[in-house]
Structure 1
């Protein structure tokens, strides 16, 4: 894993102070890129702000997208321990829980990159479903007092523009292999609550972004491409919308649920900031300071390629239940993007080492490593009108493979 102590000391995390708790030993489990990034924001938050209340054990596989820089600031903290392990290995999970007398589990672990799930779905099922099963069985064995399972808003499936935001009681209807694996994991979590009285909470969050996120996700990927003077490449016509939540606000949300959430309940973590992929490109160009007023300039910086095999047009959750516990989104999208772009301008090219291979529109998996897929066409124009949210402009699935 790429680690640089001097580099991290120049990029301290952005943290918010929360409320104290009496919980003593907490196991935080990151195991992939997007959730590893969110989990590291929370583990820094808890370790630095709750030194007298928590001992945090970070159980991490150190996958391709991990960086020890993300928690290096905690290495000299007495209330932080790193355990190198894999959630699909029961002996490692039980050993960690028993060795440190864990009483609370924050389960972030998941393969989360939707593009990769189309060509590597077995890996997503193995980590997201079987790995969750291992954690649940281990938690039952050692008598965990609280098990907080971090899921995603994608388990609900697509929400049309004229449809209401979805409540926690809404039916799950996932549409891609990643979302299906997360929904399956939730079914296991709820079954352990009902069958074995395991004390669980489920959290379903919008997209989280901010400094330290591995650049396979749209905001860090496009930021890194633009910083290199390269155009961004949109899937389809760029019309699908997503809601984005700044990582500092997400850490506060998880903090609120940890301290105030009720066992057996589900909480949506919802953002007010909804934006299309095309509009997001424009905001990033504005934030970085790249002119794009003319058609020629737009064509220079924004390209198009075929869409995913299936691309939901929109996700929308109702987060009022969590807000009733006192949490509020504090960081606007404009402010969050400004902070994020500034961080990647300074550290994006050195935080993980060489990231060139993940800046492709459609990465593929080869022997556990993510590599570029050069079999794609880029154009200056979006696809012809049609059902671009769901397939490419020709109504055919995009090109996905496991090499």
Structure 2
């Protein structure tokens, strides 16, 4: 028999990839702020996941962890048959662009096929809301034009392509069945809990281990960075007031080049005062096969729901630096994440 609603919880929420970066922040917020919700964390525990991210709430009565693979159709079908899930927040994905160039099949399998498995099971179980967390990278790059939710998708790397394909499946369930889906497209996210293969935790960790920041290509490419808890607040807003069948850009006006990012982190961590001192902590490496220069997005649609980012860059980056001082070893193979990307010949 499935789980009963008489367990006292008003909603049962499945969060996929919950031992990962953004999803772990989401779970902590839901468990703490909504004791009337029962939160199920489904995670395969791949290399970039860590249950240490969930230690603050691991013993809460309204939280449960299940280890499992979104690509295992029998397991997922049984999960939805037995857990009486009301809401799905689908974060689980392969996300590292560098790796996607070498393992495009794996990214398509996990990100696209895995999403299809979840969609079919959630639809069959009559889930009341399915939120798919996507990325600004589905738009491709732009030097001047800002993307809104109607802009065409022109992904330029295997990771973004797999997310764009998954989005198409998600929207097809809305078009065909009016299955209640919502898609979010976020700017780059930073903060505690992020595996140090991504640029901010990687640079921080390299510097904290007395190694140089390795910059792809020229370092002129820019990124918009949102602090993790701001993304959580955006998703909570969408859960409450977001319109079904819609896409929401979750962006920020804060934009910084990768070379300037390295400079600021070096000044904060190494306390450098001159350009010469700062440059000693930078190393340039071969660029990716494709590296979009910018991902400018318009976010007025979610602004109309009342959300705007609250964490200032200077506050967020200092919190992040402080966290990595004591938590770099939360992942068993974190040291290998610090090696530079080497383009195949």
Calculate the TM-score normalised by the size of structure 1: 0.81
Partner of 1:399: 344
Tell me whether 285-294 or 90-99 shows the greater mean CA deviation. Answer: 285-294
Find the counterpart in structure 2 of residue 385 from structure 1.
none
Please give the secondary structure, in 1, of the residue aligned with 2:280: helix
1:308 is paired with a residue of what secondary structure? Answer: coil
C-alpha distance in structure 2 between counterparts of 1:302 and 1:253, whole Å: 34
Give the match's secondary structure for 2:203.
helix
CA deviation digits over 1:135-165, x for unaligned, max 9? Answer: 11111111111110110000011111x32x2
Please state if 1:361 is matched with 2:340: yes
2:28 matched residue in structure 1? 44
Match of 1:293 in 2: 274
Distance 1:241 1:299 in 2: 19
Q: Does 1:30 align with 2:17?
A: yes
CA root-mean-square deviation: 1.4
Asked whether 1:84 is paired with 2:71, we answer no
Aligned residue number for residue 201 of structure 2: 220
Q: Is the 8 A contact 2:18 2:27 kept in 1?
A: no
Partner residue in 2 for 1:370: none
CA shift at 1:91, angstroms? 1.3
Alpha-carbon separation, structure 2, partners of 1:23 and 1:137: 24
Deviation at 1:354, TM superposition (A): 4.5
- Runs of 4+ in structure 1 deviating by more than 3 angstroms, as ranges, are none
The alpha-carbon deviation at position 294 of structure 1 amounts to 3.2
Query: Aligned partners of 2:293, 2:265: CA distance in 1, in Å?
Result: 21
Q: Does 1:105 align with 2:88?
A: yes
CA distance in 2, matches of 1:119, 1:292: 39
Contact 2:18 2:41 in 1 (8 A): no
For the pair 1:310 / 2:261, whether they are aligned, the reply is no
Paired position in structure 1 for 2:51: 68
- Residue 97 of structure 1 aligns to a residue in which SS? helix
In structure 2, relative to structure 1, the CA distance for the partners of 1:129 and 1:301 (3 Å cut) is same
Gaps of 5+ in 2: 1-8
Q: Distance in 2 between matches of 1:37 and 1:292?
A: 33
Aligned length: 337
Q: Is the 8 A contact 2:18 2:24 kept in 1?
A: no
Unpaired runs of 5+ residues, structure 1, are: 1-21, 363-375, 377-397
Counterparts of 2:310 and 2:128, CA distance in 1: 31
Shift of 1:23: 4.9
Q: 2:175 aligns to what?
A: 194
Q: Distance in 1 between matches of 2:212 and 2:311?
A: 27
Question: How much does 1:189 deviate?
Answer: 0.5
- The worse-fitting range, judged by mean Cα deviation, of 65-74 and 206-215 is 65-74
Which has the larger helix fraction?
2
